[in-house]
Amino acid sequence: MVIERIDAQLPGAILDRHAFRGDATIVVAPGRLTELVDFIFLEGFQLLADITAVDWEAREPRFDVVYHLLNLVSQDRLRIKVPVADGEAVPSLTGRYKSADWAEREVFDLFGIRFDGHPDLRRLLMWEDFPGHPLRKDYPLDGGDPFCTQDIGASYSPEARSLNA
Amino acid sequence: MTPSCSPFLPVLLLFLLAVGVGAAILVVSGKILPGLLKPENPQRAKLTPYECGVPPLQEGARHRYSVKFYLVAMLFILFDVEAAFLLPWAVQYKTHLWTFWAMLSFLATLLVGYVYAWGKGALDWER
Amino acid sequence: MGAIMLDDSVMTTRLDSVVNWARKNSLWPLPFGTACCAIEFMSMMASRYDFSRFGAEALRFSPRQSDLLLVLGTITNKQAPVLRQIYAQMAEPKWVVAVGVCASSGGMYRTYSTLQGIDRVVPVDVYVPGCPPRPETMIHGVMELQKKITRESLSMRKDHIERFYQSLARQEELQKARGLSGYQVVREMVLEAGNQGGQQIW
Distance from CA of C92 to the nearest CA of B (A): 6
- Is residue B45 less than 8 Å (CB to CB) from chain C? yes
* Calpha distance C45→C51 (Å, rounded): 5
- Which residues of chain B does C17 touch, with a Cβ-Cβ cutoff of 8 Å? none
- DSSP-assigned beta bridge partners for residue C167: none
- Which residues of chain C does B48 touch, with a Cβ-Cβ cutoff of 8 Å? 85, 88-89
- DSSP-assigned beta bridge partners for residue A84: A63
* Nearest CB neighbour to C19, from listed B37, B43, B46: B37
Give A143-153 pLDDT, tens digit per residue. Answer: 888 777 766 55
- Is residue C43 less than 8 Å (CB to CB) from chain A? no
Q: Is A143's CB within 8 Å of C111's CB?
A: yes
Give C144-195 pLDDT, tens digit per residue. Answer: 999 999 988 887 778 899 999 999 999 999 999 998 888 999 999 998 888 8
* Nearest CB neighbour to C194, from listed A127, A141, A146: A146
Q: Which residue has the higher pLDDT, C66 or A156?
A: C66
Among A91, A93, A110, smallest CA distance to A101 is for A93
Is this complex's ipTM strictly greater than 0.85?
no
Q: Is B39's CB within 8 Å of C92's CB?
A: yes
Percentages of chain A per state (helix, strand, coil), in multiples of 5: 25, 25, 45
Amino acid at A100: A
Q: Is the CB of residue C59 less than 8 Å from the CB of residue C67? A: no
Please, which pLDDT band fits residue C2 given cuts at 50, 70 and 90?
A: very low
Q: What is the mean pLDDT of the segment spanning A49-58?
A: 93
Distance from CA of A158 to the nearest CA of C (A): 15
Q: Is A127's CB within 8 Å of C181's CB?
A: yes
* Per-position b or e across A44-53, b if 16+ CB within 10 A of its CB: bbeebeebeb
pLDDT of residue A24: 92
Backbone angles phi, psi at A69, to 5 degrees: -125, 150
* Total-model pTM: 0.79
Among A83-97, A146-160, B62-76, the range of highest mean pLDDT: A83-97
Q: In this predicted structure, which of A5-9, C11-15, C38-42, C120-124 has the lowest mean pLDDT?
A: C11-15
Alpha carbon C107 to chain centroid, angstroms: 16
Q: Is A141's CB within 8 Å of C195's CB?
A: no
* Nearest CB neighbour to C78, from listed A126, A140, A156: A126
- Which residues of chain C does B46 touch, with a Cβ-Cβ cutoff of 8 Å? 88-91
Q: Is the CB of residue A141 less than 8 Å from the CB of residue A155? A: yes
> Based on the number of CB atoms within 10 Å of its own CB, is C154 exposed (0-12), middle (13-18) or buried (19 or more)?
middle
State chain B's mean pLDDT as an integer. 87
Residue A139 has pLDDT above 60, yes or no: yes
Please, which pLDDT band fits residue B34 given cuts at 50, 70 and 90?
A: confident
